[in-house]
Amino acid sequence: MQPARFSRRTSLWIAAIALGMAGCGRKATPEDCGVIVDRYVEIELRTLKVTDPSVIEQRKSEMRRELKDDLRTCPGKRITDSMLTCVRLAETNEELDRCTRW
């Protein structure tokens, strides 16, 4: 199966979420920022009916490379533990978006 490709618009959307974290809480770590990207990829691939774990991991790595500049500026942005929990539990990209817009 060919790995799913996301549009440039999708990449920008992920970057906006990662960079748009604001409010009370703590400073995001590089791992926190990676969780957001990884969760987005998981949800998007599930929507496309891609379930092969190796394809999912490959796409996560690709997205992290594509967003490396954005992911470098993400750490230090404000994030809450409840926001991160919401991201981990999100089942759709709309839910994920709501998690990061608090």
Alpha-carbon distance of 52 to 41, in angstroms, equals 13
**Whether pLDDT at 17 is above 70:** no
**Whether pLDDT at 101 is above 70:** yes
Alpha-carbon distance of 55 to 85, in angstroms, equals 25
pLDDT top residue among 7 and 56: 56
By the 8 A CB rule, do 36 and 80 touch?
Answer: no
Sign of CA dihedral 63, 64, 66, 70: positive
Task: Tell me what the mean pLDDT of segment 18-31 comes to.
Answer: 73
- The residue whose two tokens read 């009370």 is 24
**Whether pLDDT at 92 is above 90:** yes
